[in-house]
Structure 1
Amino acid sequence: MQETPERKVIPATAAETSPDNPWPLAMLSQKLKSHIEKAPAAWVEGQIIELNKRANVSYLTIRDVDAEVSLSVTVWGSVLSQLASPLERGARVVAQLKPDFWLKTGRLSMQGRDIRPVGLGDLLARIEQLRQALAAEGLFDPRRKKKLPLLPHRIGLVTGRNSDAMKDVLRNAALRWPAVEFEVREVAVQGVNAVTAVIGALRELDADLAVDVIVIARGGGSLEDLLPFSHESLVRAVSEAATPVVSAIGHEADRPLLDDVADLRASTPTDAAKRIVPDVGEELGRVDQARTQLNRRINQLLEREADRLAQLRSRPALAHPEARLTARADDVARLGGRALTAVRTQVGRHADQLRHLRAQVRALSPQKTLDRGYAVVQLEDRSIVRDPEQAPDGTPLKIRVAGGDFAAAATSN
């Protein structure tokens, strides 16, 4: 009796498979389909870059608006028939996508269950909502605005490749100030790479210490073309820049969010060139005007001071300075005469007093008494005899009279 081969047990999970015990291909496909079908439908936003219609089905390629990512989408005619206007290449849409796995061929596709164009009103509403949110954070506060240098040494320019905006800025700036220098970064200013490219150029120029101001310039375009300049990432990058940034996007009516966060908004690239550098002719005119005013002020000052000097010199004190000396000399002479007279009077008066006192002294002197016949009797010790008892008989005496001295002896009567 022939033996029946033992039937292998199929692994329950992919981790349990092995070279000796693999899954059948159909089983992997079924599990993939089962897993993919569990994924919910999702609304996404993108831009249609390819559109092929075949009978009752359309094949679209939708690309992300900010990154190089795209998906192929299959849309049935029943979905497209609900649209008010047919889809066109380049249109911005939101679509509800559901992944679908074709079991027979193993092909993964995205089924478009619903698709809606994004109108200008929706885009404007989103921009306005972002504008209010960023303004609430203070990114548009005028106090954050940096002052532009009066005469920048080097200007950074971020613009499109060989664009009219770049030519306008370079030409008009050179006409106003021929010595101006530019550091130009030509990047994509439209499409999915625009935001990343502009931010990269901005940060590169901001890191260059020789760059004094940065201009982001782009010519006019539709609202969709200018959307990169309202992107939140670019707005925040400009707010973080240390170098002053000038926004020169589109025309006067265009108002991307970059205009609000920039340190200076120019209505056009040509206007930006006029506002970042002064006009050399106007500056030379101002220099001449200032020089004329300075000369006039100096001349007025000299004339005024000369008049003051003439007035000072015309005063008597300066016109005839010797007059004051002469007057003081007369005063000195007069006072000297008065002082001499006063001194002589005092000397004469005191001389008379001195003669009078001298006469009094002489009248009271002992010599005068002697001259009148009086004598002074003295003992040998020169003491004066005032009492007879002082000179008994035989006492030697000295008699002084007006004419001189002579000796004598005392005798009783």
Structure 2
Amino acid sequence: MEQQILSVSQINAYIQSLMDQDGLLTGLAVRGEISNYKVYPSGHHYFTLKDEGGALKCVMFRGSAVKLKFRPENGMQVIAMGRITVYPRDGAYQLYCTAMALDGVGDLYAAFEQLKKKLSAQGLFAPEHKKPLPPYPGTIGIITSSAGAALHDMLRILRKRYPLTRVRLLPVRVQGAEAPREIAAAIAYADHYKLADLLIVGRGGGSIEDLWAFNDEQVARAIYHCSIPVISAVGHEPDFTISDFVADLRAATPSNAAELAVPDQDALRQTLDSATSAMASALWRQIQAARNHLKLLSDSPAMKSPEAYLEQRQKALAYLQARLVAAQEKGLSVAKQRFYTQAAKLEAMSPLKVLLRGYAMVQDDSQQVVRSVSQVKENDRISISVSDGTIQAVVTAAQEGTTYESGKHDL
């Protein structure tokens, strides 16, 4: 088999695709000590995480860095969250860090990673389990705190984008010891009574402790078993929770969830206007075609002078009828002549014609024609057919020899 030859870019792109599809390398948390920390004029942060066994290059882009709640420094023990992939230009892998926390909450991250690994192995994150969102949801259920700013943001966006949808609020606590049970119960309740076409489950941003209810196993399993499509909308864009991995769709923020849940009425109106315009154009073309066809009909001789047109058609029909009759008569005459000719030929070949000229046909008892004296013997009965009947006779003698000599007898 011929070995495939790849370019450096192809190799890097292939490795990048493998890493981007690896569930372990997306949404992970890495513990380590910061070193070589640099902030560039672009606002991007570059650093290395190290421990006693190795080092990992990291980058945090400006959009994520501005959300940091502390100033990273060399020597700090931190937990960095993000994904690992390849930078194609260098062919080097690195951690694309989206959030960072001091290592004081390391136990929570360890629990997060442990539960994530467990549920992933059980198939709760499987893409084939994801349900599509309804394109035009009639009712949206929102499971969140009734007092949070996230709810008001979602309601405002839903009313603006798609006022036709109804909103059903299922208020729950979103942090604290009772929050996971309430969230899971609300999901199960909405699913059991089919209260909505789509559910949004989430809350606004906060610390990892504030968001921890959405990392609870009972919440994850409630989302997984829900037959209604679920959008997870927890915290801000860098925040990842177990609920995000289980849900049918992850939204970066609650506001983004509202945008993803419904179509934009302005875009729908433009689509409807375009469709209406296209239908009007198609109808106008059909009307114009019908008008042109009607004009052709009205300009035709049949419409301008129907009597003259009818008389012309009648004359044409009479002419065709006359030609048809003449053709039939001619064909019949030719057929008759051909018949008479063939009949005359058949009559000329008839045995009766030969008999009328004085010849006879001799047959033995088995009705076989006697062509030679060797076919009969003395006392055989024979039949002699002449032109006007049959003679029954008995052979008295049968002698061989010609009955005439060539040139001495006339037929």
> Given the two structures, how large is their TM-score scaled by the length of structure 1?
0.48
Between structure 1 and structure 2, the one with the greater Rg is 1
TM-score after normalising by structure 2: 0.48
